[in-house]
Amino acid sequence: MDARTLSQHLKEGRNVFGTLIVSPSPRWPELVRGCGLDFVFIDTEHIALDRAELSWMCQTYAALGLPALVRIPSPDPYAATMVLDGGAAGVIAPYVESVAQVQALRGAVKLRPIKGKRLQQMLEGAKPEPELDAYIQEGAAKRLLIVNIESVPAIEALDDILAVPGIDAVLIGPHDLSCSLGIPEQWDHPRFLDACETIFRKARAAGVGAGIHFWGSVEQQTRFLMLGANMLVHSADISLFQKHLRLELDAVRAAAGILSAKTSADTELI
């Protein structure tokens, strides 16, 4: 899947699935490609990656047919242009709460390469020349703009945020949202689920993808899809490694313990 197709699927309400990639290992992309993902999520807000490392990751995943969506450290338009220049298929902007933030990000992602006074005029409604407009629109179709909705103020401003042209999806940050609601990490709390459903419903009604990053049980993740999400970032490579390594080592230890007991008994019989 390429970035253009991913954008279309999000807006049309088709389900898309990705995971958070922490490892920058050059062996990782080839393995990840065979996991049935539609995209990968790379987080530079919480994970230490330098620009060259990030660019290699984005370019490699793109070459393998997996668009890389990169969360920038803050909702900064200059940070957005930097990751796009490095090869990101799209930008995820954290903790967005206002129309002004989204407009600035729209300028950086969807109106490239316009800058300065001309950009401000276009954000205010000025129309570019036909050739320039076609050039901008062609580029915009291949770059995704996704905003994190992670707080009560963001939900209160959501109708106005969704009215800004160019948003491909909203993505819930569940930890920050639960804390903003005053119910940290209470994923089954009615107020948390109501907030998620509100975000999903409003986004889909606006023709925008609705997503969440979650690492809990299959039942919990399925519930978000039932509530209206069509974009799921499932867990993270490091979390899945930890989970399955622990399960398999526990199984090995248990099997070894049973084997040791049998061996001991057999020895006594002899």
More reliable by pLDDT, 162 or 242: 162
169 beta partners:
146, 209
- What is the rounded CA–CA span in Å between residue 208 and residue 202? 9
Q: How many residues does the chain have?
A: 270
DSSP of 149-214: E-SHHHHHTHHHHHTSTT--EEEE-HHHHHHHTT-TT-TT-HHHHHHHHHHHHHHHHTT-EEEEEE
pLDDT value for 256:
84
Domain that holds residue 232: 3-237
Whether 250 is covered by a domain: the verdict is no
User: pLDDT tier at 250 (50, 70, 90 boundaries)?
Assistant: confident
Least confidently predicted of 165-169, 223-227, 248-252 = 248-252
Under 8 Å between Cβ of 210 and 199:
yes
pLDDT value for 141:
95
pLDDT tens string 181-220: 999 999 999 999 999 999 999 999 999 999 999 998 999 9
Whether 252 is covered by a domain: the verdict is no
- What is the rounded CA–CA span in Å between residue 99 and residue 104? 9
pLDDT value for 233:
98
Alpha carbon 38 to its chain centroid, in Å, reads 11
- What is the rounded CA–CA span in Å between residue 128 and residue 111? 10
- What CATH number does the domain containing 107 carry? 3.20.20.60
Alpha carbon 6 to its chain centroid, in Å, reads 12
More reliable by pLDDT, 263 or 42: 42
Using the predicted structure, report yes or no on whether residue 267 has a pLDDT greater than 80: no
Whether 15 is covered by a domain: the verdict is yes
User: pLDDT tier at 259 (50, 70, 90 boundaries)?
Assistant: low
Whether 259 is covered by a domain: the verdict is no
pLDDT value for 255:
85
Most confident of 176-180, 215-219, 235-239: 176-180
Q: How many domains does the chain have?
A: 1
Residue of 177, 173, 193 lying closest to 93 (CA atoms): 173
- Mean of pLDDT values over 208-237: 95
Whether 261 is covered by a domain: the verdict is no
- What is the rounded CA–CA span in Å between residue 210 and residue 220? 16
Whether 179 is covered by a domain: the verdict is yes
Residue 9, token pair as written in the block? 């699927």
pLDDT tens string 149-162: 999 999 999 999 99
Using the predicted structure, report yes or no on whether residue 60 has a pLDDT greater than 50: yes
Burial class (CB in 10 A: 0-12, 13-18, 19+), 179: middle
Under 8 Å between Cβ of 70 and 108:
no
- What is the rounded CA–CA span in Å between residue 267 and residue 270? 5
pLDDT value for 266:
44
Contacting residues for 10 by C-beta, under 8 A, at least 6 apart: 16, 144, 168, 169, 208, 209, 211, 230, 231
Whether 267 is covered by a domain: the verdict is no
pLDDT value for 180:
98
Under 8 Å between Cβ of 221 and 214:
yes
pTM of the model: 0.90
Whether 228 is covered by a domain: the verdict is yes
User: pLDDT tier at 270 (50, 70, 90 boundaries)?
Assistant: very low
pLDDT value for 40:
98
